[in-house]
Amino acid sequence: SQTSVQVALLAAALPAGSTVLVPEHEFSSLVLPFVHAGRGIRVRTAPLSRLADAITSSTTLVAFSLVQSACGHVADVDAICTAAAAVGARTVCDATQAVGWMPVDAGRFDALLCHAYKWLCCPRGVAFMSVSADYARTLAPVQAGWYAGDDPWTSCYGGDADLAACARRFDVSPAWQAFVGAEPALRTFAQADIAAVHAHATGLASRLRRALELEQPDIPTAIVTWVDPGGDDLARLQAAGITASGRNGRARVAFHVFNDETDVDRAVAALRG
C-alpha cells in the first residue's frame, strides 16, 4: 500500500556494510528505509544531475526517483543505468511521479516502484513494485502474510504454508476498496497513448515556463517549480482557485490529461495580477 514498505523489503536484503547512493533532497520514503536499515549500511548523496558520476566501485545500490517530487527534474536514466552496470550496482527507481504522463520501461531497472495515487489517478493505498528475476532471488519475503501464500485461503493460519512461487510472495494484503477504485483508472491509462499524454502535459508545462520566463529543462517534464520561499506565489495561485503546492521552498504546478491551455493562462494571470 506504500512505496516505503516496498523499499524496506529491498533494504532488508542488502548485505551488511553496503553503500547506497541517492540524490540530494530525494523523497524520504525512498531514503529512510535505507538510512535505518542498520547492519553498517551507509547512505551517500549526490546532486541528481551528477548522480551517475557519483557511482563508484563501492556503490552497492543506486536509488532515485525518475521524476523528482520537489522540483520535477527528470533523471538521466541512460547515464545512471550505464554507470551502475559498469560497477555491478543495483538500480532502484521510484516512478511515482512519472508513470501516467511519460513512457516508463520498468525493465531498465532491478526494481521499479510506483504509488498509483499520483499520476495514475488511483485511490491512495495502491502501490506496485516490479523486480527483475535475478534481483527477486536475493530478496527474502520478510513481510510475508496470509496473502503471500501459494493458496492464500489455505495459508491463513500457522507457519507451514508454502509461499507463492511468483512475485506475490513479497505482497502484503491489498487495501480492497482502493483496488476496486484503481481498476478503472489503471485500465484507462493502460489504453491511453502515453506518448500523446507526455506531449500534452509537457507542452502545457513549457507554455507556463515561457510565460513566466523560467528556464526550460534539458529533459521535458510536466512539473513546473520556481523559488518561492515565502509562499507568496503559492498563495496567489490558491486565492485564484488553482490547485498548486509548495515543496522545499518552491511553488509547484503540475499538468496532466485533465488540464488545457486555459489552466496555464489562469495561472499566469493569477501570478501577474
H-run or E-run covering 143: none
Tell me how far apart the alpha carbons of residues 48 and 129 are, in angstroms, rounded to a whole number: 22
- Give the pLDDT confidence score for residue 154 in this predicted structure: 87
Question: Which H helix or E strand runs over 271?
Answer: helix 261-272
Between CA 41 and CA 30 the distance in angstroms is 15
267 touches 239 (CB < 8 A): no
Per-residue pLDDT of the chain (273 residues; tens, 9 = 90+): 889 999 999 999 999 999 999 999 999 999 999 999 999 999 999 999 999 999 999 999 999 999 999 889 999 999 999 999 999 999 999 999 999 999 999 999 999 999 999 999 999 999 999 999 999 999 999 999 999 999 988 888 888 889 999 888 999 888 899 999 999 999 999 999 999 999 999 999 999 999 999 999 999 999 999 999 999 999 999 999 999 999 889 999 999 999 999 999 999 999 997
Task: List all residues 6 or more positions away from 97 whose beta carbon is below 8 Å from its beta carbon.
Answer: 65, 66, 67, 68, 69, 72, 118, 119, 223
Question: Residue 159: what pLDDT?
Answer: 86
> Is this prediction's pTM over 0.85?
yes
Task: Supply φ then ψ for residue 90, to 5 degrees.
Answer: -75, 150
Phi, then psi, of 83 in degrees rounded to 5: -65, -40
Identify how many contiguous H helices and E strands the chain contains and give both numbers: 8, 9
Between the CA of residue 76 and those of 49, 52, 73, 84, 233, what are the distances in Å? Answer: 8, 8, 9, 12, 30
Match 523499499 to its residue by C-alpha cell: 7
Domains parsed from the chain with CATH numbers:
3-139 (3.40.640.10), 194-272 (3.90.1150.10)
Distance CA 82, CA 101 (A): 24
Coil, strand or helix: which one is 32?
A: helix
Q: What is the pLDDT at residue 23?
A: 97
Q: Which residues are 20's β-sheet partners?
A: 43, 61
Q: What is the DSSP letter of 99?
A: B
Q: Strand, helix or coil at 264?
A: helix
User: How confident is the model at residue 125, as a pLDDT?
Assistant: 93
How confident is the model at residue 247, as a pLDDT? 85
